[in-house]
Amino acid sequence: MRSIWNGAISFGLVSIPIKLMNATENHSISFRQIHTADGGRIRYRKVCELEEKEVPPSEIGKGYEDADGSLIPITDEDLAVLPLHTAKTIEIVAFVPASSIDPLQMDAAYYLSANGVPATKPYTLLREALRRSQKVALAKFALRGRERLGMLRVVDDVIAMHGLLWPDEIRTPEGVAPETDVKVREAELDLADALMNTLGEVELSSLHDDYRAAMEQLITAKVEGGVLPEAAPAEGGGQVIDLMAALESSVRAAQEARGASGASGAGGEAGGEDAEVTPIKGRKRAASAPKAAAGAKKSTTGAAKKTAAKKTTSAKSTKSAAATKKTAAAKKSTPKKTTPRKHASA
């Protein structure tokens, strides 16, 4: 790996000679501008406005454009005398938790390598100190003509440095958030959680650039005279009319995709159990349930009325039977009147 900068890490009174290497690379397919009429390449040439002729790189310098449009030359000698302590040094200024770094500040990433055998011991010391403290180091360094902010952290057995934007380079998100107040229901949040749980996790190494693969296929077909790839169907970008239906459909689609990929999929192991879609009360699909419940209530009410009527009739018949028995008993207990016999003479 080719180094792009040589210097040292300043760690208190400890100085660690290091080499700086790019940790990332760009795999994007680049294009050249051409003349569509004849296919000739369009090139940009550096031309002096005063002499109107092309200037070689050895004669090109730096200049600052003033407010009135005049150019002030800045030479390499002028830059060399600037009081910049970080010109060849990565100066650590603090150790902070990684959570205190805003991801918006993240910029390019670099690997730091120990430069020479004497640098191995202090390099390892700093690496293990960072690993054990579970913190990152904030540092200042100069690269490509400007001083920058950096964050040092441990990646495997290497110290990596992320370039950070200065805090005043982060724009505030004014006017970005929705201006209309929107209320999110608990049922919608539950479905969103179910969708997140169903999608689960993924191994980043399994992700790839589909656009670049399609571009390579297109270029190969152009060169070899093959069949050009077909255009992908356009996805609907309209307004979501029913958010709940869209969430439920998304959960089902994610479950089907995970079921098709099997347990060996990237997110199959880490995602845990699939989430279940619970119908939301009050939706059209649940309309039949209230009707059934209403019917059940009616039948229950009718049965109750019939039972009450039977009880009433039984009670009446019981009372009538009791009254009849009482009457009979009363007749038996009443003594018979004796009529005196008349005398014969009478």
- Write out pLDDT tens, residues 248-266: 888 788 878 777 665 444 4
Q: What is the mean pLDDT of residues 92-100?
A: 93
Confidence at residue 93, expressed as pLDDT on a 0 to 100 scale:
92
| Residues comprising the chain, all counted | 346
Lowest mean pLDDT among 67-81, 173-187, 223-237, 310-324: 310-324
What is residue 270's predicted lDDT score, i.e. its pLDDT?
A: 42
Greater model confidence, 36 or 82: 36
Per-residue model confidence (pLDDT) at position 155: 95
For residue 134, name the pLDDT band (cuts at 50, 70, 90). very high
Q: Is the pTM value of this prediction over 0.85?
A: no
Residue 236 has a pLDDT of 55
Instruction: Check pLDDT > 50 for residue 214.
Output: yes
The count of C-alpha atoms lying within 13 angstroms of the C-alpha of 247, restricted to the half-sphere facing its C-beta, is 21
Query: What is the C-alpha to C-alpha distance for residues 75 and 329, in angstroms, rounded to an integer?
Result: 138
The pLDDT of residue 260:
65
Highest mean pLDDT: which of 76-80, 109-113, 175-179, 290-294? Answer: 109-113
296 vs 255, higher pLDDT: 255
- Look at residues 138, 140, 141 and name the one whose alpha carbon lies nearest to residue 152: 138
**Pick the residue with more confidence: 241 or 279?**
241
**The dihedral formed by the CA atoms of 313, 315, 321 and 327, expressed in degrees to the nearest 10:** -120
Position 162 scores a pLDDT of 95
